[in-house]
A and B are shown apart, each in its own frame.
Chain A
Amino acid sequence: MVIGLILALIAGSLVSLQNIFNTKVNEKVGSWATTTLVLGMGFLASFIMSLIVEGNRIFTLRSMEPWYWISGLIGVGVVICLVQGTKRLGPTYAISIVLISQLGFALLWDSLGWLGLEKVPFTWKQLVGVLVIVGGILVFKLGGERETQKAA
């Protein structure tokens, strides 16, 4: 459990750094050029890691289901929705909703165990935990004006 927690914390920290770096690129080159660059870099890095870890066995993709090929398009959907949402609501409100929606769907996914992931049964304790986190997000994002309200 501790390893899982640490990995989640590492992922979150890197997401934060990546968001900041991407914002910097975005300011200069525009949002689709940024997305293309970011996904291209991600592909290269993952490809190199696959080669290091698995060697050329990676080219024999045995158990590929057809939908695996298109799941990468979800990432493109994320960008479209983020850009449109932020444009209409401003970063503070948009990101608050994004975070809350992320958590809500996480809970839904665990309880339903869709896509063959191990089911984590729904308990009221979990719902209370998620609601407290949502409260925290709202207080963090909306509570009190910070000095500048530029990026979220």
Chain B
Amino acid sequence: MKAGKRLKGVVISKPIVYGNIATELLSKKTDHTHKWTVFLRGPNGQDISYFIHKVEFKLHETFVNNTRAFKTPPYEVTETGWGEFEIITKIYFPPMSGEKPISLYHMLKLYPPESQSQTWPKGKPVNNFFYDELVFSEPTEEFFEALTKGADGPEIPLKVSGTQVFSLESEAAECNRLETAVAQVTGKYNEYKDRSRAAEIEAAKLRRDIAAIEAAQ
């Protein structure tokens, strides 16, 4: 089915969250130490299926049917295992959009991070979430309609709550951090620049003096 005309200059972006949650299996009956779920969803728990046609999770080849496809939400795979590997999440868009599928790569994380591995309470799930935005540039007319009509409710929650780890607040906080960092870095840059300049000047002066002394010897 041929895609319709593309709207030039139009850019729409949709936020998504993907990643995995892993909990340690306490029974230890098998050599699988963790139960994990890898997922793809909207940041506010809202429906994202109106612009997603299919989601394929490609797991490690040791899993049976390692390509798990979902045409309807929830886009989740729950499995048990012991190893961390790269998961490829391939998102297919509806045919009317004429867009190619896009792949996201992330590592399945089962174990808590190094710094906290000692103090991690047993049974506490390890969360490994990534926020990203799908930027649709010059979408087709049909798709554009679907994208704008399909959203209901805010797409990014205002605050962090429960499993919604990404919020407008966290965005603002990150921006602040980045801004302070930029200010810091700029300051440091100028500092180093001045130091370079001063050193340059002094070096020139010293060279001149040395030349003079050597000449006089």
Same complex: no
Residues of A within 8 A of B (CB): none
